[in-house]
Structure 1
Amino acid sequence: MVGNNDSLMTTRHAFVNALSYSRPIILKVSSLMSEPNLLAAIDLGSNSFRLLIARAAGEGPSPSVRAIDSVKKSVRLAAGLDTDRWLDADSRMRGLEALSVFSNRLRAFAPQAVRAVATNTLRVARNAADFLADAQAVLGYPIEVISGQEEARLIWVGASHALADQRRRLVIDIGGGSTECILGAGSDPLMLDSIDAGCVSATVTHFGGRRADERSFERATRQIKQTFAPVARRARALGWEHAVATSGTAKALTQIARSVFGEPGLDRVALERMRQALFAASLDESPLFAQIKSDRRAVIAGGLAVMTAVFDEFALDSIDYCEAALRDGILIELWSERSGRDVREQTVERLEHRYRLDQARGRWLADTACALYDQAARAIREERLERRALLGWAARLADAGRVISEENHHRHAAYMLRNADMPGFNEAEQTALSALVLAQAGGLRKLCGMVSGELGWLSVLALRLAGLLERHARGDPSPPPLPALFFKQGLARIEISREWLATHPEARDALIDESARWIDQRLLAEFEVREL
């Protein structure tokens, strides 16, 4: 496997280097040109990579987001996964070539106007990190790997915004490597699930380049139904009024049902006729499947098997197609965040209520930690704002573990946040938040491999110092004076009121112990506690 990947290594690096060499220069110029209400969403899917550019307007929960340009590149990334979950060189190269096209379209976009997400295949590929490093160099923007639940939530945001009514609705999105199943009403999802079965993975697994026949199709459908069964049971227990399908497989099957059979949507009769057509002739020879593009025909057998399993397990008679899905959800949230409605903030508020946290204490910790961070972060040449936001949220959720036990509460909180359903947070952000909460107490050795970069360790120090000050000022009529913090290149200094320390001698001892802990772990060469 390593040999196969290495065979195109020289070509790939030349390709990446040629594109990434000039990209920073382009960004410096073009970010000044960007129209403020233009947004771009990029979806690195398991079948296709897609770019959607839109113009946004309005505020509140229902902004107007109007698509003005889109680009789709068939990559079939999931087909490049081997049995050990390694992405082959050819699929990686196809992905980089697609992203180079997107990069050219995005020259006039500021970084804050673009969001790129990667889904199922890059969630499971063992060499995803290598590909993503190259992909970000080519694209010129960060790429987030989002969880299946977060993907489902964003699909719901897009579909529910487009459908705009309060009916309880089931939404099914068959992608290349996974299928997202969402049930909700209005803008509120009640159930978010992601199943590892998509049109590409099903085609490769069950048909493997062979023509589908009745026996292989029945076997494929039976196995796929088993993966859907638990989710379908929960959905049937909740019930729904309207079933909707989104994305490429649903679009292609609905297109055939309408243009060939004259049906308004997709139903069981149309599915059965497509199934029989699949057995009767090869895909390229079938007049039925000539209605769809060749790249979609290549994975239609797997897509049809997944849709058949969905109809059977969810007991559907018909399903309507909805154009809006993941990319639309990304754009809506991107605009909402720029308008001051960050979904992550809403998630943190929900968790504060769920765990009955002392919000006044949490806000004080957050304000103090962020104030300490701000003083030192100015001297560090890294992206500061995202780290600062995560630090503030970690401080507010630091006490979540106390609902389980006072002892090792920081470990309980870290586990809870690492495994919680946290809408708006991607996997990297959720992992970083969990690590920060773990870092609030105890030794520092456990954080090695979890925290990196000067800003990462500065965030840890700021949170620990805020907690130390709060503990030793508890019961005081007024909060402690804010110390000055300096932190750069392995050196730290905290300047704190001598008068306050004189009345809080245990705080002085705790600060000295904290400085020794950082030096003992060789995280800092010097940590001075200076009384002023």
Structure 2
Amino acid sequence: MSDFLIDEELLAAIDMGSNSFHLAIARVDHGEVKKVVSMSEKVQLAAGLDENKNLTEAAQQRGLACLARFVGRLSSVQPNRLRIVATNALRQAKNGHEFIQQAAEILPKPIEIIAGREEARLIYLGVSHTMANGGRRLVIDIGGGSTEFIIGEQFEPLCTESLQMGCVAFTKKYFEDGEISYKNFNKAFVAACKELSAIANYFKAEGWDTVVGSSGTIKACRQIMVNMGWSDEQESVTREGLEKLKDKLLKYKHVSEMEFSGLKEDRRAVLPAGIAILYAAFEVLDIDHLMYSDGALREGVMYDLLGRFKHEDIRDRSVQALIGRYGADPKQAERVVKTAQFLFDSVASKLKLTNEDSDLIRRAAYLHEIGLAISHGGYHRHGAYLLQHSDIPGFSQIDQNHLSHLVAHHRRKLRSESKMDVLKVGGQSLVYLCLLLRLAVLLNHSRSDQMLPAIELEVLDAQQWQLTVSGDAKQWPLLVADLHDEQEQFKHWDIDLIIQSEKFID
């Protein structure tokens, strides 16, 4: 990845939402993301989740066909300037890996399944970059499978929550046959209120100055209110206007009968569920006015990507926060990072490792001891668990899975079957990174700032690595013993580690 992004170069994001898939392509103009292409298709992945939480074949084919059309517009965008994120439907799908494998044959970059709070963070980033007003904001984004709530100031989210309610999921549960009645609307409303009760007191205590809504459901509700004369002079969604919209909706018996000025046909089926969720948010959080923002997840993804080019990567801030939270030794982390980067640079070209691989091993080296906060015994497993299951801003589930495997395998025995697990998750490059991290940790077992022996790592061929230790190896007896042990572990993962020294020849 380059160190800077020149103005006028293209960025792109694909947002694989539970209701719609979106493609945005933008130019960077003096630090601002200016959209030049925008595409959206109602794929409704969430509607394709069966009773066992598996994506149906029809839903998968809808998604793949949409992605194929999107890819046709991406020829001018370099892969390292593209991010593809998936949200609640693929978080929920038990067979999501099948869809992802098929999509990998179409897409130039892997899909990143992001956690709910990470989705919320990125939504806030997209909204905050498209709003001129300051102060503390509450941002609400009603998606197909989940609804995100964020409180933030300027460009920083302070509270992020993702609730399991969305317009597609609620349509399936409460309005599946398209019937509209007070009874099914009230069931949806009460269910949304129950979800909101988990965050209401916390969010109210934090407080906000303005409320902003984003994405399709709120956009549709606002447009109907504006066209019907139910919004205020700023064309905001008001409590009074939302009450009128709800009352008008309940006069219809079926979604096919609805007549709302400005309602798009592809929004018709999910509108009652969307209104129920929005109405619950107004009631439980005591909202009177809500402004609308065109910024949403895809804009947030592009601004986050832009930050990575400008060395403002949220992932590095998250790594430092984890070190502090779990009381890891920062000096030892720095020693291992320095050694890991030296080893990586020595072999990256021969092993065809990328800049993204360099970032990954560096972050794993910083975090390899966080499991000590739980217990010294098996701390590598504790650290791996924390990385796998925590909400870590900036990281996708795939990123966290890679980090987890690196930390899990940085010490103790390597088993042949665990290599197969690593290969399945991250391919041969992740296997190499695990071995490089092991060497970096091993070379710093003394936890000392005293000069280590000069070392050189060379890849002789696909199955042979050579580590050269300069000077008299007898000066470092423990290091020599550790290297002997490590040779045996490397063999379990099909690498012959040859150790050379002036007075110690393997």
Offset, 1:356: 4.4
Offset, 1:340: 2.4
Contact 1:213/1:278, CA 8 A, preserved across alignment: no
Offset, 1:165: 4.4
Aligned partners of 1:283, 1:39: CA distance in 2, in Å?
39
Give 1:41's aligned residue. Answer: 13
Structure 1 residue runs without a partner (length 5+): 1-33
Aligned partners of 1:391, 1:525: CA distance in 2, in Å?
19
Structure 2 residue runs without a partner (length 5+): 1-5
Change (3 A) 1:345 1:525: closer
Offset, 1:103: 0.9
Choose the corresponding residue for 1:415, options 380, 385, 389: 385
Q: Would you say 1:350 and 2:306 are equivalent positions?
A: no
TM-score in terms of structure 2 length = 0.91
Aligned partners of 1:70, 1:476: CA distance in 2, in Å?
53
Contact 2:27/2:36, CA 8 A, preserved across alignment: yes
**One-letter amino acid of the structure 2 residue matched with residue 349 of structure 1:** Q
Contact 2:148/2:163, CA 8 A, preserved across alignment: yes
**One-letter amino acid of the structure 2 residue matched with residue 427 of structure 1:** Q
Give 1:19's aligned residue. Answer: none
Offset, 1:399: 2.3
Contact 1:483/1:496, CA 8 A, preserved across alignment: yes
Q: Would you say 1:319 and 2:290 are equivalent positions?
A: yes
Aligned partners of 1:269, 1:459: CA distance in 2, in Å?
58
Offset, 1:438: 2.0
Offset, 1:402: 2.7
Which has the higher mean CA deviation after the structures are superposed, 93-102 or 293-302? 93-102
Offset, 1:403: 3.2
Give 1:102's aligned residue. Answer: 70
Aligned partners of 1:143, 1:256: CA distance in 2, in Å?
34
Aligned partners of 2:496, 2:109: CA distance in 1, in Å?
36
Offset, 1:488: 4.8
**One-letter amino acid of the structure 2 residue matched with residue 48 of structure 1:** S
Deviations 1:226-265 (A, max 9, x none): 1221122211121112111110000000001111024122
Choose the corresponding residue for 2:193, options 225, 240, 245: 225
Contact 1:490/1:523, CA 8 A, preserved across alignment: no
Change (3 A) 1:400 1:512: same
**One-letter amino acid of the structure 1 residue matched with residue 55 of structure 2:** L
Q: How many residues align?
A: 489
SS in 1 for 2:41: strand
Deviations 1:74-115 (A, max 9, x none): 111111111101111222111122112211111111111211
Aligned partners of 1:461, 1:525: CA distance in 2, in Å?
9
Contact 2:18/2:89, CA 8 A, preserved across alignment: yes
Give 1:442's aligned residue. Answer: 412
**One-letter amino acid of the structure 1 residue matched with residue 29 of structure 2:** A
Aligned partners of 2:461, 2:267: CA distance in 1, in Å?
53
- Matched ranges for 1:501-516 at <5 A: 501-516=473-488
Over the aligned positions, Cα root-mean-square deviation in angstroms equals 2.1
Offset, 1:475: 4.3
Choose the corresponding residue for 2:33, options 55, 62, 65: 65
**One-letter amino acid of the structure 2 residue matched with residue 426 of structure 1:** S
Choose the corresponding residue for 2:150, options 174, 179, 182: 182
- Percent of pairs with identical residues: 35
Give 1:526's aligned residue. Answer: 496
Offset, 1:388: 1.8
Choose the corresponding residue for 1:333, options 301, 304, 321: 304
Aligned partners of 2:8, 2:21: CA distance in 1, in Å?
25
Contact 1:115/1:330, CA 8 A, preserved across alignment: yes
Aligned partners of 2:66, 2:448: CA distance in 1, in Å?
60
Which has the higher mean CA deviation after the structures are superposed, 171-180 or 266-275? 266-275
Choose the corresponding residue for 2:470, options 497, 501, 504: 497
Q: Would you say 1:259 and 2:227 are equivalent positions?
A: yes
Offset, 1:531: 2.3
Contact 1:440/1:467, CA 8 A, preserved across alignment: yes
Contact 2:150/2:157, CA 8 A, preserved across alignment: yes
Give 1:236's aligned residue. Answer: 204
Contact 2:8/2:27, CA 8 A, preserved across alignment: no
Q: Would you say 1:454 and 2:428 are equivalent positions?
A: yes
**One-letter amino acid of the structure 1 residue matched with residue 481 of structure 2:** D
Offset, 1:164: 4.4
Give 2:179's aligned residue. Answer: 211
Contact 1:435/1:447, CA 8 A, preserved across alignment: no
Give 1:52's aligned residue. Answer: 24
TM-score in terms of structure 1 length = 0.87
Higher helix share: 1
- Matched ranges for 1:103-142 at <5 A: 103-142=71-110
Which has the higher mean CA deviation after the structures are superposed, 190-199 or 356-365? 356-365
